[in-house]
Structure 1
């Protein structure tokens, strides 16, 4: 199996299984209305639609790479077309997701670190508004900005926390001076970098990805979600145990430096008596 096909298989199978397993206590994805927020090329959405029998999967993405899914389905999975329960759509930042319907389950995988800081609350709000009253949001981010590899550039500049320890121009130069990118790594970044792009274009794209990260921490992310009426009902985190450089330990909170990944389930804040039934009745009325 080629390296790029391994990448697609990982998304198509492993990521899909992780996300669907997290939703299992809430009834499982079979027969449900689902939305992927920030679907990229659509591989996870494709796997979800084909392997987990939801009623429908809608994938939304602000980049035009969403149009690559049909080629991926053909080239890597031998499909002649996309499944009928899958819809992929390019959207603009802040677009009202309710235009696409209401959803039992919304999920996003390594997306929210790329949402502009001033749009975080709005992003949570538009997701919350598109969730059915008892709907669930799955959110995963890895790596968080202040973690060891939080720049997303560790494959090119391997020094732990280099993006926090180096001067900005020094870090940029280290990226541009790094050895040529292995093909499998270029393929893993194909959402952002055309496979045939020259190295100078590749490094420009990598630097832009780094400089546009929103630098959000887990507590800040949770507050943004709460502002949209979403509460975390399951919280899983992974942390690095590498020694923290003294210069950074003197500046940053240790937990912020160590927390590499957050995986959350979020739901609407607890509704008062009768509000769930009233909201459900309202949705049923809208469906006819």
Structure 2
């Protein structure tokens, strides 16, 4: 008997459809007639509404609904795969950024922009080479590079970098200086920084601060702004003396091989040539060395406090 295009059919004990539909011999099942024909013949009758609908449920492109607010298996598979990529990238980004102290307001703004990049990347394929010839406007791909995952989008017929889905990581400062697609306030890692140690930088899109190529670097690849180191250990007293950065008051600073200092806004012991104000900290023996004032001294040149 037909009901809504579906007929109750009794399969006999030699039915070949048993193994396909998963029912026991002799059982009564309700099978759409078009599916029954497809299983028996090994193919679907072409041009039928039922078959076209079945194709849509299986293969409709991502974000193209089969019915209002209902999507295909392909749509859900792509969303799931994209979510895994983005979640992995966010975990890596979160782990790296946990080592860096940023002002709350600045971090909030960066997180918002980064979330927008991640949202744009959701569902995009991960590639090692951007598609060529260039596809249609709006197409998004995640380009895996040695420095991390970059999000690219086709804009007015050409590929354009939108941002990074992971924290950009470079082997040296020179490579970092050529980076593109950075967000204002974004963090960057240099694995071979000062003293060949891992060093972190922040991109300031509007900064015009004097550059020294170490603590403050020209963002050549971006065409504007500065890449500013977050490190608090100086290679020399001279490097600290010319530092144009303004760390928050109370930040502990160290000159390698000389001693410790604390950033200040008032009551400072020294106002350095770059504008940095610091108080001079005694060492564990209660001594302040003349080298902490930029003088060249001997081991006996110190004052006890």
**Larger strand fraction of residues:** 2
Higher relative contact order (CA 8 A, sep 6+): 1
Q: TM-score, normalised by structure 1?
A: 0.28
Q: TM-score, normalised by structure 2?
A: 0.26
**Larger helix fraction of residues:** 1
